[in-house]
Chain A
């Protein structure tokens, strides 16, 4: 068992760029976050904030021409017999056997779109069995047993007959469960779920979130949950990192994020969403403007042009850095800058 006060995954100043013919898209611009064993880290942000690219950087499955140009991704591997080894995923070759054994082995990944995450020309069973045999030395029959067990564990009824189904024969909710079943057969220590419920209806979403919590309790894996839905974050996460335009702007325990947010963006975001369990039907506070395209990032603080607390000459002059304002609560904003 690993010591639980050490992060199992630590991303430090990650920078991921997409050099295109027309210019470089800075998708992740020095993001840092930690994943604790057995806990859920929520990464929340709007489109273009780089949360998915950050996750794909960890898996080293970036779409071309994306590349990690800076930073570290430190992953603590359990080498058995209570020995551990810390490896830097960022410095590995994206085709090396080492990353391949981590990817889909110790770190599992669930995609947003359940339709495309399975190959339509192979049965679900074949794909799960293949995944099992890729990481374990086991006979076909043995793998089939494991697969049936895994499908049952994620609550898929009639698991044995489902093995012969193709992905398009399942509904969205079942497909996403099957996907999770497939990722879990390798007993991952981290499950990265990239908008796992966005394509699902609210009742299916509830089922899936419940399932993920249960699996976490049973297997003790860490979860990195990437979503734009603050409700899902509040429900699932232990710790939250808020991203905006490729940067982590605030990082805090979930209760602090929702009840004591510090960054103007987090505050504004929370005020702008309607809440189902409150009686007030007040006007929503909105954030002016739109998320800028990563091509034309504003000078200085990326949120500056939309911020209510914008300080001319300060926020547009230099870029704030993430710093601790209270224990385990980090904010990247000049409002909390003691230094001047």
Chain B
């Protein structure tokens, strides 16, 4: 495997720099390209070994596309994705091809949102969970069967169920099966794309707890993509917020929720209704609509909806910078604004 020149500091498992993904807009009989959707528009962040980074934002903000670039489910247009493999080599996932890409797949796995479409209804649990083992030539048939039994037990399902088909299981149980499949190859990084949003409220907690337990047990690192801020706050060590293809803020969870520095983050946090009628807090109601990623506004993409916007915000695009230790913000007025969070400091 080729080792990239770029360095990755000791505690980091993954570092994404200037990641871009553009989707062409095609029209007409001959499918001519008439424009581009800037789904991911220059994103920088890193994930430390063993932590959970929450990636939040509203629909269409590019969080899922970012995750899929890291998984190479889509090929990034530009940018670098440095990753430390289990052999302690640093590779750029963005440029990997063929056998090297296949090799890295055992290090990075995914948990899907929809527990129904993410399992092949025509395959038994044994086939589904055993598939990664088969693909990476791990062990004999009996070894694989034993490993599947182990994995099922690990996610809280009975190993006797391995010859059943997915239709025998409920949403929550299917999500466990998906987790078992993701863990089959002992990955280092697990990308979870809205893993609980399709589940019933009473089942969400089961799956979240399982993910926390497995992280402790196996030393996993999570990239947790979600729109539900309460869930993200519960599970993440650090949180990154995206808006129209760009990262607007990234900070340790408690800091982000108590002292947000970006007006968008503050608005987002205040919009979450708390399940307690006694804490009806002041809500920041954003005006207007999310910008169109095919035709974003000038300067800061958030300025048309921002109540703190100045002339500078309309003209200059802010860059993500570290304003205090580990707190990154992309706002011209980050240092002067005092915004309210949802947590007491």
Please tell me whether chains A and B touch each other in their complex, using a CB distance cut-off of 8 A. Answer: yes
A276: interface (CB < 8 Å): yes
CB of B268 closer than 8 Å to a CB of A: yes
Of A203, A258, A290, most B-chain CB atoms within 10 Å: A203
- Nearest CB of B to A51, in Å: 13
Q: Does B309 make an interface contact (CB < 8 A)?
A: no
A272 engages B205 (CB within 8 Å): yes
What CA separation (Å) do A306 and B170 show in the bound complex?
A: 15
Nearest CB in chain A: distance from B259 CB, A: 14
Chain A positions 261-313 with a Cβ under 8 Å from a chain B Cβ: 268-270, 272-279, 281, 283-288, 290-291, 306
User: Once bound together, how far apart are the Cα atoms of A206 and B231, in whole Å?
Assistant: 18
A279 & B254 in contact (Cβ 8 Å cutoff) = yes
Query: 12 more A-B contacts (CB under 8 A) besides A237-B277, A275-B274?
Result: A201-B58, A202-B268, A202-B271, A203-B271, A258-B278, A270-B275, A277-B274, A277-B342, A279-B344, A284-B205, A290-B173, A290-B200
Which residues of chain B are within 8 angstroms of A234 by Cβ–Cβ distance? 273-277
For residue A271, which residue of chain B has the nearest CB? B205
A231 to B283, CA, bound (A): 14
Which of chain B's residues 107-137 have a Cβ closer than 8 Å to chain A?
none
Q: Give complex CA distance A207, B288 in Å.
A: 10
Interface residue tally for chain A (C-beta within 8 Å)? 48
Q: Is the CB of A290 within 8 A of B170?
A: yes
Cα–Cα, bound, A254→B205 (Å): 23
Find out whether the CB atom of B257 lies under 8 angstroms from the CB atom of A276.
Answer: yes
Known: A202-B227, A286-B205. A233 touches B285 (CB 8 A): no
Complex partner residue of A254 from B202, B230, B270, B277, CB under 8 angstroms: B277
Would A277 and B209 count as touching, CB distance under 8 A?
Answer: no
Asked if B201 is an interface residue, CB under 8 A from chain A, the answer is: yes
In residues 193-246 of chain B, which contact A (Cβ within 8 Å)?
200-206, 208-209, 212, 227, 229-231, 233-234
> Please, how many residues of chain B have a CB less than 8 angstroms from a CB on the other chain?
47
Specify the chain A residue showing the minimal Cβ separation from B264: A203
Contact A290 B59 (CB under 8 A): no
Chosen A-B contacts, 20 in total, with CB atoms closer than 8 Å, are A46-B201, A174-B289, A203-B271, A205-B271, A207-B286, A231-B274, A232-B273, A258-B275, A259-B276, A268-B202, A273-B205, A273-B230, A275-B230, A276-B233, A277-B274, A279-B343, A290-B171, A290-B173, A290-B203, A291-B170
Q: Is A335 part of the binding interface, using a Cβ–Cβ cutoff of 8 Å? A: no
Given A274-B230, A274-B233, A276-B233, A284:B283 Cβ within 8 A = no
Q: A201-B58, A255-B277, A281-B234 are in contact. Are A269 and B271 (CB under 8 A)?
A: no
A229 at the interface (CB under 8 A from B): yes
> Which residues does chain B contribute within 8 Å of A277, judged by CB atoms?
274, 276, 279, 281, 342-343
Partner of B202, one of A274, A283, A291: A291
CA distance A259 to B277 in the complex (A): 9
The one of B257, B272, B279 in contact with A202, judged by C-beta atoms closer than 8 angstroms, is: B272
What is the minimal beta-carbon distance from A302 to any residue of chain B, in angstroms? 13
> Which residues, 219 to 238 on A, are CB-close (under 8 Å) to B?
228-235, 237
- Nearest CB on B from A39, distance (A): 14
With a 10 A CB-CB cut-off, give which of A171, A201, A269 has the most chain B CB atoms: A201
* Interface residues, chain B, with chain A CB atoms under 8 Å away: 58-59, 170-173, 200-206, 208-209, 212, 227, 229-231, 233-234, 254, 257, 267-281, 283, 285-286, 289-290, 342-344
Instruction: Name the B residues within 8 Å of A233 (CB-CB).
Output: 275
Bound: A56/B320 CA distance, A: 49
Which of A171, A258, A278 has the most chain B CB atoms closer than 10 A to its own CB? A278
A196 near B: Cβ within 8 Å? Answer: no
Taking the nearest CB of chain A, how far is it from the CB of B158, in angstroms? Answer: 14
Q: Chain B residues near A306: list those with CB within 8 A.
A: 202
Indicate if A30 sits at the interface (CB-CB under 8 A): no
Cβ of B254: which chain A residues have Cβ within 8 Å of it? Answer: 279
A209: B residues at CB distance < 8 A? 273
Determine which of B173, B209, B233, B270 lies in contact with A286 in the assembled complex, contact meaning CB atoms within 8 Å: B209
In the complex, how many residue pairs between chain A and chain B have their CB atoms under 8 Å apart?
Answer: 138
Task: Give the residue name and chain of the A residue nearest to B231 (CB).
Answer: A274
| B202–A286 touching, CB < 8 Å | yes
Are A275 and B285 in contact (CB-based, < 8 A)?
no
Cβ of A244 to closest chain B Cβ, rounded Å = 9
Is A201 touching B227 in the complex (CB atoms < 8 A)? yes
Q: How far is the CB of B323 from chain A (nearest CB, A)?
A: 23
Interface of chain A residues 232 through 252 with chain B (CB within 8 A): 232-235, 237
Q: A203-B267, A205-B271, A210-B285 are in contact. Are A291 and B209 (CB under 8 A)?
A: no
- Which chain A residues border B234 with CB–CB below 8 Å? 274, 281, 284
Whether the Cβ atoms of B229 and A276 lie closer than 8 Å is yes
Given contacts A272-B202, A276-B257, A290-B170, contact A171 B271 (CB under 8 A): no
- Hey, which chain A residues are within 8 Å of B285, CB to CB? 206-207, 210
Which of B59, B270, B273, B290 counts the most chain A CB atoms within 10 A? B273
Residues of A with C-beta under 8 A to B212: 283
Neighbouring A residues of B277 by C-beta, 8 Å: 234-235, 237, 254-255, 258
Roughly how many angstroms separate A125 CA and B280 CA in the complex, as a whole number? 36
Min distance, Cβ A169 to any Cβ of chain B, angstroms: 12
Nearest Cβ distance between residue A280 and chain B, in whole angstroms? 10
In the assembled complex, A105 has its CB within 8 A of some CB on chain B? no
Q: Does A117 touch B at the CB level, under 8 Å?
A: no
Nearest A residue to B289 via CB reads A171
Interface residues in A186-221 by Cβ distance below 8 A to B read 201-207, 209-210
Distance (whole angstroms) from the CB of A331 to the closest CB of chain B: 18
Given A203-B286, A206-B283, A207-B285; A275-B202 close (CB under 8 Å): no
With the chains together, A291 CA to B254 CA distance in Å? 33
B233 proximity list for chain A (CB < 8 A): 274, 276
Contact B278 A269 (CB under 8 A): no
- Residue among A233, A254, A272 with max Cβ neighbours from chain B (10 Å): A272
Flag whether A37 is at the interface (Cβ < 8 A).
no
User: Is A66 an interface residue, CB under 8 A from the partner?
Assistant: no
Q: Report the bound CA distance from A228 to B212 in whole Å.
A: 24
Cα A47 to Cα B116 in complex, Å, equals 15
Determine the distance from Cα of A258 to Cα of B206 in the docked complex, in whole angstroms. Answer: 21
